[in-house]
Amino acid sequence: MSYTSLLIFPFLLTLLFLGFPVAFSMMATAFVFGVWTFGWAFVFQVVEKIEDVASNFVLAAVPLFVFMGAMLERSGIADRLFEAIHLWTRRLPGGLAIGTVLMCIIFAASSGVVGATETVIGLLAIPVMLRYRYNKELIVGTICAGGSLGTIIPPSVVVVVMGPLANVSVGDLLVGMIFPGLIMAGSYIAYILVLCLLRPSAGPRIAAEADEPPLAERLRITARALVPPLFMIFAVLGSIMLGWAAPTEAAAIGAFGSVLLTLFYRTFTWRALHESVMKTLQISTMIMAIILGGSMMTGAFVGAGGIAVAQELVNNLALGPWGLMVIVLFLAFIAGFFLDWISIVLILVPIFAPLLTMAGINMVWFCIALLIVIQTSYLSPPMAPAIFYFRAISPPEITTAHMYRGVVPFICLQLVTLAIVLSFPGTVLWLPKMLLAP
């Protein structure tokens, strides 16, 4: 048996550490090892891979979800959510941080784009929390962890890419991630509340103001801020959960709904629409190029006998289903220190999905566990995309040391969520079974 296929990963990592873009590194790796294995006939396989990616109906949801997030950035929804939610939470210990997490949940469920959530909400929440002398580590952790909830709270661009690679329904993944996402977000809120009860200086309560609006006015503000985005969330997720629409069709509903929200809030401009379209084009092109590179590399790996080699290694190690799953998740966690989410998904899922399936592991359950690990990688230095986003919007008084210390408790909470999901598969599998089973 040829072990040539195992050289693919050192070759790829060498290109990445030399600074080449991920998409081109994958394409170059695929081309070198594909030609080595198949000769110039590999060019015809490349053309076939391009056609497969370009004609994949499920991947059409990627630009639709990205456009939805880009339009919501410009709809004014974050400003209104910030005002409405903090009307109710600011009297609590750590109320501004709790309200920020709640806002992240709603915004993540509306957009599905991680960077958009963290950037928009961070720009609103950081100055207010600094004004009320919130602990800087708590500010960082709340916004980085809350802003990255778009990975594990549907709709999620990550899931749209992961589903076809793992050969599982995107609808099952979108529904299956609801409970784990709520568990993770709930653990954030519980931690903030307990921390600020034990250490009131970390998140001081805000005293009542003389001009505080009456109950009726607060209800009106809340309804205006919450009802439209909640209606759009139901239109996207509800249509999938009730079987009315496929994920791609639901993404189209969400994209159209984001335009309607800008009209409802009277923030629609042709300039905003143009900027959203251009941002969608830029992000979607990047994602699709990486998907193509990953597809090419997987083809070269499989053609070189990589799956058979991996199967032999797994059999020799006698890991068993649980051991195999833990090893894959550990590899994903380590990879998250250096690679972005799409690289992790495209490298690990196509290679290990057949082995995990043969081991009898439910792939929906595994994919949600992998999503939680990817969520953790967003916060884990040195790569830590969430910290990079935060650094771009943070004032000078919040240092890099504050950022690294601030995310540690939330990484621990994410690992607790992972342990719950692994211990109780029903947290993932029960809801899809109840709603989507034929």
Tell me: the pLDDT tens digits for 123-132? Answer: 888 888 888 8
Cα 100 versus chain centre, distance: 18
Q: Counting Cβ atoms within 10 Å, is residue 145 exposed (0-12), middle (13-18) or buried (19+)?
A: buried
Cβ-contact 193, 85 below 8 angstroms: no
Number of helical H runs and strand E runs in the chain: 22, 0
Quote the tokens at residue 404. Answer: 């690294």
Q: How far apart are CA 305 and CA 432, in angstroms?
A: 35
Q: How far apart are CA 78 and CA 86, in angstroms?
A: 12
Of 384 and 257, more confident = 257
Axis crossing angle, helix 22-38 with helix 341-358, rounded to the nearest 10: 40
Reduced DSSP (H G I as helix, E B as strand, rest coil) percent helix, strand, coil of the chain, to 5: 80, 0, 20
pLDDT tens for each residue of 89-121: 878 888 889 999 998 888 777 766 666 677 778
Three-class DSSP category at 185: helix
pLDDT tens for each residue of 328-387: 898 888 877 767 777 788 888 888 888 888 888 999 999 999 999 988 887 887 667 788
Q: Which residues contact 203 (CB under 8 A, 6 or more apart)?
A: 93, 94, 95, 96, 97, 134, 135, 138, 192, 195, 196
Q: How far apart are CA 70 and CA 64, in angstroms?
A: 10
Helical spans, DSSP H, in 211-305: 215-233, 239-241, 247-264, 270-303
pLDDT tens for each residue of 378-436: 788 766 778 877 887 888 888 888 888 899 999 999 999 999 999 999 999 998 888 76
Q: How many Cβ atoms are within 10 Å of 419's Cβ, its own excluded? A: 12
Owner of token pair 């050289």:
7
Average pLDDT, the chain: 83
Where exactly are the structural domains of the chain?
56-268+305-436
Lowest mean pLDDT among 133-147, 257-271, 378-392, 415-429: 378-392
Q: What sign for the dihedral angle of Cα 371, 376, 380, 384?
A: positive
pLDDT of 1 higher than 60: no
Q: How many Cβ atoms are within 10 Å of 26's Cβ, its own excluded? A: 29
Residue 198 has what DSSP assignment?
H
pLDDT tens for each residue of 56-81: 777 788 888 888 878 877 777 777 78
Quote the tokens at residue 197. Answer: 């009860």
Lowest mean pLDDT among 141-150, 197-206, 237-246, 364-373: 237-246
pLDDT of 86 higher than 90: no
pLDDT tens for each residue of 167-192: 888 889 988 999 999 999 999 999 99
Cβ-contact 146, 97 below 8 angstroms: no
